[in-house]
Amino acid sequence: MNINIKTSNIELTDVIRDYFNKKAEAFEKLIDKKDESAALNGILSRLTRHHQKGDIFKAEMNLHISGKVFHASSEREDLFAAIDLVKDEILGELRSHKERKIGLIKRSGGKVKRFIRGIYKGY
């Protein structure tokens, strides 16, 4: 999986890059290993420099998997907390997509089975 990180108004340090990559590893469990087109685009930014309560950070992730795009964004006072929330949102979307896909396969398999049973009963 290709991982691209873009920053705005903050410097991308090794600590931030490693933390983002560590959180991105959670997606690899739910992504097909054969899918070479999988790409994760992350945008990390500081929204204001002069906010009364301090800095506000924004984290966005766009996960592209075989023609499907999953998107999430979060704004928090801590950059790492924003990354965690975005990761959890994307994981939820991935899990529900995978469950829907598997459910469709199981339902269609049941229909085929009932159809074949109906053919054999007719003879």
Sheet of 39-46: strand order equals 2-8, 39-46, 57-65, 68-76
Q: Is the pTM of this model over 0.85?
A: no
* Domain-embedded: residue 73: yes
Number of domains in the chain: 1
The answer to which of 24-38, 58-72, 75-89, 105-119 has the lowest mean pLDDT is 105-119
Residue 90's pLDDT is 94
* Domain-embedded: residue 116: no
The parent domain of residue 63 ranges over: 2-90
Tokens at 52, concatenated = 């009364």
pLDDT tens for each residue of 35-80: 788 899 999 999 876 656 678 899 999 999 888 899 999 999 899 9
* Domain-embedded: residue 52: yes
Q: What is the CATH number of the domain that holds 17?
A: 3.30.160.100
* Domain-embedded: residue 38: yes
Residue 54's pLDDT is 75
* Domain-embedded: residue 29: yes
